[in-house]
Structure 1
C-alpha cells in the first residue's frame, strides 16, 4: 500500500502519480490523465486548489487581542491555544489546513513541471509561462511553510536547522524528512530566479503568477533572510513593471460599494487567500495606538470597525466584510514600496526611504490631514518604515514573519503578551513557540516527520 503523506489531491492527479511507468499509457475508465499543455493549464488554473494558503498566523502575533470570553470562544480549541502559545495545540485527529493547502499546491506544481517535459501542444511562450507559474506557486508555498513551521533563517545555523519536507517530484509516496531551512530557501530562490526568465509581464488574472509577482516574492524572501541589497533590487524591479497604488481617498465615502476586490485591485501582484473561515480579528491596543498616531489614516477608517454586531465594543479588522471579499496573504505593490524603503533605510539612504514611504502614505491618508514624514537619520527612517509596514500589512500574513526576523535584532526584540480570564500568556523573543506545531496526525502517518517541540 502506498504510504500516506496526507496531501489532499485531485482524483485524476492521484491516479497519475500512483501509476507505474509500464502502465502510463493505460487511461483509467472515466478519468482524465493530463497529457497536453491545455490539460496542465487547466490544472494550474484551479483557483480552489492554487489560491488557498495559510491564515492562522495572525492569532499568534501582537496584532490580535481578545478582551473577553465572547471573543476567544469564537476561535475554537486549537486556534485558542495558538493565540495563547500553549502546548498540545492539535489532538491526534486534527487536520492542519495550512499545511495541507500549501503541500497540495506544491504537489500540483510538481505535476505540471514533470508533465510539461513530455506534454504536447502549446506555443513555446505559453509553455514557458506555465512552467514559470508552477515555479512561483511552489516557491510561495515553500517560503510560507518554512516561515510558519521552522526557525527564522540564521546564516550561521540554517544548514542544520530543520525546515520542512522538500518534495520536488510528483509523488505521494515520498518520505517526509525535513530538509534544512537553508535547503528550503535555496529551492525558493532557484524556482524564482528561473521563473523570472520564463514569465510574461502580465497575466490573465490576479491568481496567475506574472513576472512582477516573481520579482515581488524574490524581494519578500530576500528581506526575510536579511539580504537587503537584493531585496531592494527585486522590489525596484517589481515596481518598474507594476507600481500603481490605489488611492483610499477615492473609497472613503462609501467603501462597501467602491473599495476594489482583491482580484481587481491594481495593487495585487499575486492573489493568495487565507485558509480558514475566520472573518474578523480583534485589534490589539498596541496596533490601535499605532494607527491613532497616524492622523487621518483611511486604512483605520475603511478596514476596521467598532459597530459590527455582535462584537460591538471591539475594534476589529473587517476587510472581508467589504463586498464579501477574502483576506489575502499574497504580495502587493504597497509591500514592495515598504520593502524598498526598509532596505534604503538599512543601507543609509534615509531620504529615499522617506520618499517611498510618503508615496504610499499619500494614497492612505486623508488629503486634508496629509503631511510628509521626515527622518533625522537612517535609524529614524527605519523606525518610521517599520511602523508604516505594520500599519499597511497588518492581517496580510506577514506580521509573524516580521516578528521572527526582527527578534534577531536586539533593538527590535519584543516580548508579546496575551491574556484571558485573568491569566496572562507570554512569548519571549526567539521562543520555540514561534514555530507552529506540526499536527500529530501527520507525524503518526509519517514517523520520519519530526515534530516541533513546544514544551
Structure 2
C-alpha cells in the first residue's frame, strides 16, 4: 500500500490525465498507465503535444515585479498566491499543483521518448538520436524551471548539499518516486543532457516549438547565466548568435498586430507557450516596470494599451513566446561582457538592440564609464526587453543571490496598503513543495518557510 500511495505522486500531478487528454489514436494506455507508442512517427507526435509545447506556467509571470493586479487579500487562488509570494502556491492538497504538475507531465512525456525510442521497429539511427536529443532538451528545460521555483538560487558553494527536485527517469507509474536530488545533481543533469544533445539536433526543425541546435545552445546560455558562470554563458551565446537571424526594427511598425507572429518570426530561438492563451495578454504593468520606459521607447508604444484597471500588455497575433529569443541571447552576451569588464563591447551589443527599439528621431547610443555602470545599463535593458517574456523570475532570483534586488512590494493603489513584501534574501524566493505532493510523499524534504 505504501508503494501504491507513493506513486500517486505522479497521478496527483495529472500525468496520466495529461496523457489521456493529449493522446492521438496511436497511443495505447495499458491498465497500469504505461503508454506504448508504436512507430517513430508516434514519438515525434508526442513532441508536438500540448503538454510538451504549452507547459510554461503563468504563475512564473504572476510572481514577477513586472506584474500588477488587484487580488483581494483573502483570495487564495493560485494566481493570488503566486502574486503575493505565499509559500504554498496551491490552495490545498485537492488542487492539481501548478508549475510542478505541468513540468512533471512534460518530463514523463520525455522519459517515454528517451526510454522507448531505441527499441522502436522503424526509423533510422539518426532519427532516433534526434528524437531522444529533443526529449532531453525539453526535459532539461522543465527541470530548470522547476529549480527556479522550488529550489534555492544556485550557489556553487552550497549546491551539493541543498535539495533540488526529484529526478524521475522511469516511465512506469508503479515505480517508487525518488526523493529530491541535490541542487547540484539536477544542474549537472540539465547541463550534461543539453550539451550532449546538440550534435544530434537539426539546425532547422518542423516548427518553432521543436528543439533545434540553436534552442539547445540558447538554453545553455540561459542556464549558465543563472548559475553565474558568465564565461560559459558567453561561449554559448556566441554559438547561438552564429545562427542566421535578424532583429526586428520596431520603427517599421505602427501597430503590434503588424509584427511577425513570434513562433515564425526572425527573433525566435525556441518557441514555448502557456496553456493559458491569454497569458501574458492583458497582464497589467507594475508601476516599477513602467518607470523603465520613456515616450520614445517603441516597446512600450507597441506592447501596451489601457483599460479601466491600468496599462496592460498586448502582444502580436498568435501565441506569445515564453521560451527563448535572440534579444535575450544578445542581452545575456552583453551581461557576460560587462561582468568581464569589457565595457565597450557590452554597450555595443546593447546599442545594436536599442537601435531597433527606440524611435529613430530620438535615438542616441548609451555609454558607460566603468564595469558597474555598464552592468546596470545591461540589466535595465534586459528588464525592458524581456518584460512578460518568461525569464524575469529567474533574473530576480539570481540577482537577489548577489544582493542586486531591491525590496518588492504589492501595494493596493486605492489606499496605499502594503499587501505583501518580497525582501532581499527572503525565503519567499523559494516556493514550498505542493500540498498534494506532500500528501502522497510524506517523507519528501520541505523548503524552509
TM-score, shorter chain, exceeding 0.5: yes
Query: Would you say 1:178 and 2:180 are equivalent positions?
Result: yes
The 8 Å contact of residues 135 and 195 in structure 1, kept in 2 or not, is answered as yes
Match of 1:312 in 2: 308
Deviations 1:375-429 (A, max 9, x none): 212221111000000101111121111111111223x132111123653121111
* Selected match of 2:66 from 48, 63, 68: 63
* Selected match of 1:344 from 334, 337, 346: 337
* Selected match of 1:444 from 430, 439, 445: 439
Match of 1:154 in 2: 155
SS in 2 for 1:54: coil
SS in 1 for 2:67: coil
Q: How does 1:18-33 map to 2 (within 5 A)?
A: 18=33, 33=36
SS in 1 for 2:192: helix
CA distance in 1, matches of 2:340, 2:137: 28
Query: Would you say 1:434 and 2:429 are equivalent positions?
Result: yes
Deviations 1:156-175 (A, max 9, x none): 11111111111123232331
Match of 2:86 in 1: 86
CA distance in 2, matches of 1:138, 1:444: 25
CA distance in 2, matches of 1:407, 1:446: 31
Match of 1:259 in 2: 259
Please state how far the C-alpha of 1:188 moved relative to its aligned partner. Answer: 0.2
CA distance in 1, matches of 2:63, 2:45: 36
Q: 1:249 to 1:408 in 2, by over 3 A?
A: same
Q: 1:88 to 1:109 in 2, by over 3 A?
A: closer
Q: 1:387 to 1:34 in 2, by over 3 A?
A: same
Q: How does 1:410-425 map to 2 (within 5 A)?
A: 410=403, 412-420=404-412, 422-424=416-418, 425=420
Could you tell me the TM-score, scaled by structure 1's length? 0.88
The 8 Å contact of residues 176 and 448 in structure 1, kept in 2 or not, is answered as no
Q: 1:226 to 1:136 in 2, by over 3 A?
A: same
Q: 1:113 to 1:286 in 2, by over 3 A?
A: same
Q: 1:185 to 1:125 in 2, by over 3 A?
A: same
Q: How does 1:277-296 map to 2 (within 5 A)?
A: 277-278=278-279, 279-292=281-294, 296=296
Listed as ranges, the gaps of 5+ residues in structure 2 are 21-26
CA distance in 1, matches of 2:81, 2:436: 17
The 8 Å contact of residues 215 and 237 in structure 1, kept in 2 or not, is answered as yes
CA distance in 2, matches of 1:418, 1:188: 34
CA distance in 1, matches of 2:92, 2:62: 19
SS in 2 for 1:269: strand
Q: 1:171 to 1:62 in 2, by over 3 A?
A: same
Q: 1:445 to 1:228 in 2, by over 3 A?
A: same
CA distance in 2, matches of 1:214, 1:75: 39
Please provide the CA RMSD for this pair: 2.2
Q: How does 1:206-221 map to 2 (within 5 A)?
A: 206-221=208-223
Q: 1:218 to 1:87 in 2, by over 3 A?
A: closer
Please state how far the C-alpha of 1:73 moved relative to its aligned partner. Answer: 9.1
The 8 Å contact of residues 50 and 137 in structure 1, kept in 2 or not, is answered as no
Please state how far the C-alpha of 1:74 moved relative to its aligned partner. Answer: 13
Match of 1:360 in 2: 353
CA distance in 1, matches of 2:168, 2:76: 32
SS in 2 for 1:274: coil
Listed as ranges, the gaps of 5+ residues in structure 1 are 20-31
Report how many residues are paired.
Answer: 427
SS in 2 for 1:417: strand
CA distance in 2, matches of 1:108, 1:60: 27
SS in 2 for 1:418: strand
